[in-house]
Amino acid sequence: MEFTATVIAQFLKGEIVGNPDVKVSTVARIEEGQEGALSFLANPKYEPYIYTTKSSVVLVNRDFVPAAPVQATLIKVDNAYEAFASLLTMVTQSKPARKGIHPTAVVEPDAKLGENVYVGAFAYIGNGCEVGDGSQIFPHVYIGDKTKVGKECIIYPGVKIYHECVIGNSCIIHAGTVIGSDGFGFAPGADNQYKKIPQIGNVVIEDDVEIGANVAIDRATMGSTVIRKGVKIDNLVQIGHNVEIGENTVMAGQTGIAGSTKIGNNCMIGGQVGIAGHLKIADGMRACAQSGIISDIEEKNLTVMGSPAFEHRHYLKSYLLFKKLTEIKAQLDSVRKEIEELKKE
């Protein structure tokens, strides 16, 4: 697919600096640009590449002023990164969607499929399921009995969605993810053996949620594990039973959230963060990578760091002292030795 700078600028409501008729047919990082490619510059760290890139068109912020001649045609927009993402979305949506049911797929007779639904090879859709209009179910997907999948969803190969779960509209679930597996519920007995507690709840995922590859979201013991509207979850994340994730919260890979924790709206959770169970996390919390959160966070928009995690500015000050512990100990030992010698005198 090929676009001119004029078409791109019109779509993005941008201003062209250079040749409006230049054409692009692919995208590339600015440092790896080639003729016919579209790139973007959002991070000032990469500005030197704009003077050497071979890309034909580069999106830049409106306030960008080049310090040297630029060969590429520039399109000035309000936010270059956001504009680039919008273009990629447009290109993706322009591709024809898959339709039809593969002959090897199994769709139980009482399952209901909407219009223009795609069901790939060896997929299974159980009894009483509902799949909304335009949704795409890729090969080897399992959708358990009485599960509901909304409209315009994309469920990639190998996803397993257990019985009675609910998936909203426009959700994307990447390969290998399991939704609705049993929560980690076991009761210790007098004989030191653990008895399984049946997990009779479900998982509810609201609209516009994207879930990465190999994520596990456990079903509730009772009630629902809930992922609210607009949540984005990276690969290899574990979410325990009865957890609730607030709207537009994002979390990076290898995060683990223990059961019954409630996370607020608009939170940002870095990679390998661990959050203990039965906690309440306020809106806007930001957890730096590898933080370990073991208590409630009541203050909104707080940034935490460390394990156990606390306010990141205090953590950084504490870390400076921690790095000097060996030096401080040597100084204390020296002072102690001097005191002992003075006592002897």
Residues marked as catalytic = 241
Looking at the chain, the number of H-run helices and the number of E-run strands are 5, 40
Q: In angstroms, rounded to a whole number, what is the distance separating the alpha carbons of residues 16 and 22? A: 11
CA dist 165 and 153 (Å) reads 14
Q: Quick check: 115 and 97 in contact, CB under 8 A? A: no
Supply the DSSP symbol for 32.
Answer: G
| Structural contact between residues 296 and 280, judged by C-beta atoms closer than 8 angstroms | yes
Are the CB atoms for 120 and 137 separated by under 8 Å?
yes
Q: Is 12 helix (H, G, I), strand (E, B) or coil?
A: helix
Q: Determine the Cα angle at 177 with ends 171 and 183, to 5°.
A: 105
φ, ψ dihedrals at 133, nearest 5°: -55, 135
Helix (H) or strand (E) holding 130: strand 130-131
